[in-house]
Amino acid sequence: MKKSHIIILLISFLIFNLTKAQTIDTSNSKIEFKIKGGLIFNVKGTFKGMEGDFNFNEDDLENSSFDICIDAATVNTDNEKRDNHLRTEDFFYVEKYPNICFTSTSVSANGKDYITTGDLTMHGVTKTIDIPFKFSNNTFRGSFDIERLDYKIGEDTGTLTVGSTADVTIICVIN
């Protein structure tokens, strides 16, 4: 009789841990980016306000998934005038496109690391991308490059003023 109670407790504990919701720590999660400005210097910035569904289990990649958005209006380059301009129709047009979202279609192993493939929607344009990532200490860290003109961001701004390729790093901390 005692053995059956112990087995039931163990099974209950395992089920609880496997189905436990993974919650995004919004205060410590962010998107970092870097893009050339004027061919001479790099402009660095961040986005905050990450929300969504984070379901990652390294032992069950087939059922792992990400459906995450950030608030485009949180763009911050430590230059208020530039940030306000980035929020306008010239760039992110946050009134019309308030979120930048990624929805995974697959998650797979990539050596000791992982890769997720999915749809990135920004500025009303959706493109399929791959994001190589590591997951350790409850932190997802992935990096990729993005062509801003593929998403119609700053189309009227030449690539001499603002580079066309941005380096992007996602840091998503899970509670």
CA distance 26 to 53: 12
Cα 169 to Cα 5, 8, 16, 77, 156: the distances in Å are 47, 43, 32, 15, 26
Question: How does pLDDT run along the chain (175 residues), one tens digit per residue?
Answer: 566 555 554 444 444 444 456 999 999 999 999 998 777 889 999 999 999 999 999 999 999 999 999 999 999 999 999 999 999 999 999 999 999 999 999 999 999 999 999 999 999 999 999 999 999 999 999 999 999 999 999 988 877 778 899 999 999 999 9
